[in-house]
Amino acid sequence: MEVPAEGKESPALPPAAALPSESQAMAVQITVLEARELKAIKSNVSVTFVCVEYNGASLGDSSRTDVLPNGTANYNFSTSFDCSPDGPNSWDDIAQKPVLLTVMEVLQKEKRQKEKTACLGQAVVDLLPLLQGQCSFKVLAPLYAVPPSPLESLHSEAKAALEVTVCTEEPLLSAAQLSNGNILSVTLEAAYSVPEAFATTGPLQNYMACLQVPAAGEKEVPLFFTNGTLKLTGEKEPLPRPKKWPLANVIAPGALSIPNSFIVGGPYEDEDGELNKKEDREFRIQAERMKRIIWDMERRCYLDPTAAVILQKHIAECQCLPMEVCRISAASSSKRKTSKADKGDEDKQIFFHGVAYVNVVPLLCPGVKQIRGAFRVFPYQDTEVFKKTKTQQSVFRDLRGHLSLTREELRTPQPSTPPLSRAVPSKTPKEDKNTKDKDSNRRMSSASKVQLSDATVEAENATYCLDGQQYTEAGTFLVMEIKLDKALVPKRSREELSRQVKQMIPPRPLLPPRTTGAKKAVEDYHSRVRSIAVAILSEYHELFGKGLPGWGAIDHQTLEEQKHQLNFELNSSGKYFAFKEQLKYAVVKIVREKYLKTTVFETQEQFQAFLSELYVYLVDQMHVALNQLLCEEAASPAPVSQTTEEQLQLFAHEAEVIKDYRLASFYHQQRLAQDQCNIQYWLDYGAFCLLLEETTKAQECFQRALSLDPHHIQSLLLCGIVATMLQHYEDAEIFFEDACCLEPSSVVARTLSGLFYELQNNNIQAEMAFREAKKLLQAQLAKERSIPDAAEGEGGEKRIPAGCVSSPSPGPEEHLPEGSLDGSAKRVPEAVEPAQSCTVPEEDAAAPEVAPKGPSQPPCTVFTKAVEFLMKVNAIQFVHRALAHELLSFQGAPSCAYYLALAQTYLLKEDLPRCEECLCEAVRIDYVNPNVWAQKGHLCYLKRDFGEARQCYERTISFAEDAADMHFVYLRLGSIYLEEKEYGQAKQTYLLACKNSASCLTWLGVGIACYRLGELLEAEDALSEANALNNSNAEVWGYLALICLHGGRQLEAEQCYKYAVKLALRNDALLREILAAQERFGFGNPSL
């Protein structure tokens, strides 16, 4: 029949094509252009037409068209149907139901006979691209032949095809829906190792499964998998094999295959589920050849932005989704005519009711869009299912009246229905009425079930568990795949790093050329003698003055006394030894460059003779240098350091983390040497002293900062903290009161003051301070919330990590970022408990300061802000007291930020077991927090569990959001790659570290990786940059020595080796490698 022209009304339109009442309805136009190679299906076909169906309803037939000699038939037939988010043809229908095209052959008729037709072939068109942002697309759909009889099957590939276009006037999804929505695809492959009671003989059985997917509100969308095929012992299914559509009205078997979608399998060890260990391999192989149930079916579900967030939250809270399985009797048609009472009994025949707990936590890993694995089947027990998945009802029990159908009814077309009964076949109007009555009765029954006694519930569970227990005995497991169109947690998109290390090294001024040889060695000796002479003369002037006595020259006896006194002062102060050390290097250069002595003397006589000769020469050159000093100008100033303040701060923090406290102290002193009037430098040095538990020294630093600015709030607070630690309580009270007076709006100052008063058992003052701090915080956050919503909508919300207590901030008033508060803790790690008599009042403690904006954000409290400030200055004693109050301020379980801060304190004290306990709770609460995974990686690294540390670090850098301490994540991950000889990965990781925050250690890692990869030029560039940032790193000199050895640069190789040894190279393996290379090349070691 002809389809009415577009834009005209048609009263005969089928239900699937009828215009829904929703205003968001859109028309999807299907155009069948032509058929190709029809004669490959049947050689004598002459006249055909095409029927178009969607969602169980006919959209119309094309006109009769002659088949050309080349097998082509031009239909040019267009039709359409309307779809809307919640209408008869919803987005879920678009995702999982294709357009069905049936090519009908018009048979030649004899006189006075009606026209006869026969089905020639079927094709399907997937509409999924419409939900992926496309407005139109063209496909060449394979046309599969229909077998001559139902008992026969055609497995050959389709040789014919239909050219089809699909288009809409505008995209089905908005930009926000497209970017934030998702498409969930679930493929149930098979159930293996099924119970022995499953048999192919006897009454027809329908093997079914259903996965419940969380949706908006408390609803769940069930994805049904019906008509599983029971197969006996035999060869396993081939791989790859196509996935099948969940269609019931397809008569061409090939058309059930989803185009370009295959089950590919893979090694058991690479799967995400259970039974993926080496010891399970033999069991899996045997099970795949024994009795099994095959579905190979894929179901899809569109997740709008809200549903995608709900799914992510559900996974974080419950970790598992329930996949129910059961066997239902497929009654014959005659049995359907029984009485209502018998029908009610028949509806209840659900056997072998089991459930598999599908662990979908890997979908929360950054960038992960697909999981596949085996999952064991257990008996269905309501309490166990609710405990593990928070699912309160069984789909099969609620819908068993709909599911007890004949085999024929299960294969009838199924129009779209509401979500909870989406897979239930349609009924006649009379049956619909009966169904509604039953549904209302069932709802009343469900309401009454809530009031059943525990004994009744247990009895019902026991009835279903009798058959379900056989799953456990047989070891039944499901193999399935869950795939998302987009990852729930996006993965960081890394920009390509340049292969040339030189491009990443910042430009530096060229160092002055250094000439080598005897002449240069003598000149250096002269320069050193002159500088020492100037220093000794300065010492003389300090002792005896610069001018001579007015009555003339100094007599010999006075001169001798002054000489003895000067010698005594130089020796007693250690300056004589320092001068001698300064002169030593210049003498060594003369020995090497002028006398070419680099080896051990053969005899003692030769050694003594050489010393005599050298002594005479050095004394002569000393006189030459002293004579030149009389006519020379002052020495030029030392070159300005190229190291910036930010670099020195990074180097100091880096040295603190790797516990090289001597080097960290050096960098802090370097910062102070550059600017002694910088308050922050003194505060950082004092915090470093607190880390070393040098409280007195920290007090000096904080007091020095306070002397520079008596009104500096941080300095006052820190002076109060160290005074408290030194038990100078009167001084501490003055500092805290002064800070509160100077900055009345400071939440941190009020909170720390309250903690101090609590320590003094001054409960009234502590309570007043806490109350005032809470009022200030509420006022601050209320002011922030007064920003217009439009500004928030334009800028969008930024997700801030929960574990941010270690992130740098300029002052104590910077707000703590919010984190995630989900679930309840089973056991809270120990923390210092506050005094019970001065706890926060009930009305304040019960209600947090700020209500969270979403379900995953914890409240921001005054103690949270105090912890942030205290963690930065290493005031661990106060941190524990603040965390104890933080613990009491929560109505439910502690937040992820609480556990993360507590874990960091334990990590500083090297209490690794308690740290691990806290991080496990933090991971459970906020699975996608990069700071948690970074801290867990640090913990595993310190425990030398490098495999687990690598996984944690790789997950951390995969997040789109950086952790607070990415520098050390890169450093340690790079070192693990080097240890595992994955030098390419190590190079890329260290280059990322150099890009973010370059240091000697980051460039050293790049240099080592390039050297191991044989890229000697890049290795030398990287090591030279590392040496420019820190020329006292022995390992840098060691690798430079290796590069010079490979390059045949003898003098430089000797110098680099000399510095490596002088700086006490501790890497024994590297030292052995250098010695072996020196022996192989025949140079580089002066002692050889």
Q: What is the pLDDT of residues 130-165, one digit of tens each?
A: 998 899 999 999 999 888 755 455 555 777 899 999
Q: Which range (159-163, 321-325, 498-502) has the least confidence?
A: 498-502
Q: Which range (56-65, 149-158, 754-763, 866-875) has the least confidence?
A: 149-158
Nearest to 802 by CA among 784, 821, 785, 826: 821
Q: What is the pLDDT of residues 76-133, one digit of tens each?
A: 999 999 998 877 888 888 998 999 999 999 887 766 667 788 899 999 999 999 998 8
Kindly provide the residue ranges of all beta strands, DSSP E only, lying in 271-408, ordered along the sequence. Answer: 292-303, 320-329, 350-359, 370-379
Identify which of 1-5, 334-338, 617-621, 915-919 has the greatest average pLDDT. Answer: 915-919
Q: For 501, how many CA atoms within 13 A lie in the half-sphere containing its CB?
A: 30
Nearest to 805 by CA among 863, 751, 718, 853: 863
Q: What is the pLDDT of residues 712-742, one digit of tens each?
A: 999 999 999 999 999 999 999 999 999 999 8
C-alpha distances in angstroms, 306 versus 584, 610, 734? 75, 88, 53
Do residues 297 and 225 lie in contact, with contact meaning Cβ atoms separated by under 8 Å?
yes
C-alpha distances in angstroms, 24 versus 82, 85, 127, 306? 10, 7, 18, 18
CA–CA distance, 815 with 794 (Å, rounded to integer): 22
The residue to which tokens 């963690």 are assigned: 871
Going by pLDDT thresholds of 50, 70 and 90, the confidence category of residue 781 is confident
Predicted pLDDT at 782: 83
Predicted pLDDT at 827: 39
Do residues 196 and 71 lie in contact, with contact meaning Cβ atoms separated by under 8 Å?
no
Q: How far is CA 742 from the centre of its chain?
A: 43
Nearest to 936 by CA among 915, 908, 961: 915
> What tokens were used for 979?
């240890």
Residue type, 823: G
Residue 785: Cβ within 10 Å count: 11
Q: Which range (87-96, 146-155, 422-431, 828-837) has the least confidence?
A: 422-431
Q: What angle do CA 1076, 1080, 1083 make, to 5 degrees?
A: 95
Is the pLDDT higher at 740 or at 201? 740
Do residues 802 and 961 lie in contact, with contact meaning Cβ atoms separated by under 8 Å?
no
Q: What angle do CA 147, 148, 153 make, to 5 degrees?
A: 35
Do residues 821 and 895 lie in contact, with contact meaning Cβ atoms separated by under 8 Å?
yes
> What tokens were used for 362?
């890997």
**How many residues are recorded in the chain?**
1088
Do residues 99 and 110 lie in contact, with contact meaning Cβ atoms separated by under 8 Å?
no
Q: What is the pLDDT of residues 1042-1062, one digit of tens each?
A: 999 999 988 889 889 988 988
The chain-wide mean pLDDT, for the chain, equals 79
Do residues 1043 and 1020 lie in contact, with contact meaning Cβ atoms separated by under 8 Å?
yes
For the chain, count helices (H), then strands (E).
38, 19
pLDDT at 558 over 50: yes
pLDDT at 803 over 50: no
Nearest to 752 by CA among 726, 780, 722: 722
Predicted pLDDT at 971: 95
Q: What is the pLDDT of residues 590-630, one digit of tens each?
A: 887 777 777 788 888 888 888 888 888 888 888 888 887 76
Query: If you average pLDDT over residues 893-918, what whole number do you get?
Result: 90
First to last CA, the chain: 101
Q: Are strands 182-192 and 477-484 parallel, antiparallel or unpaired?
A: antiparallel
Do residues 1006 and 992 lie in contact, with contact meaning Cβ atoms separated by under 8 Å?
no
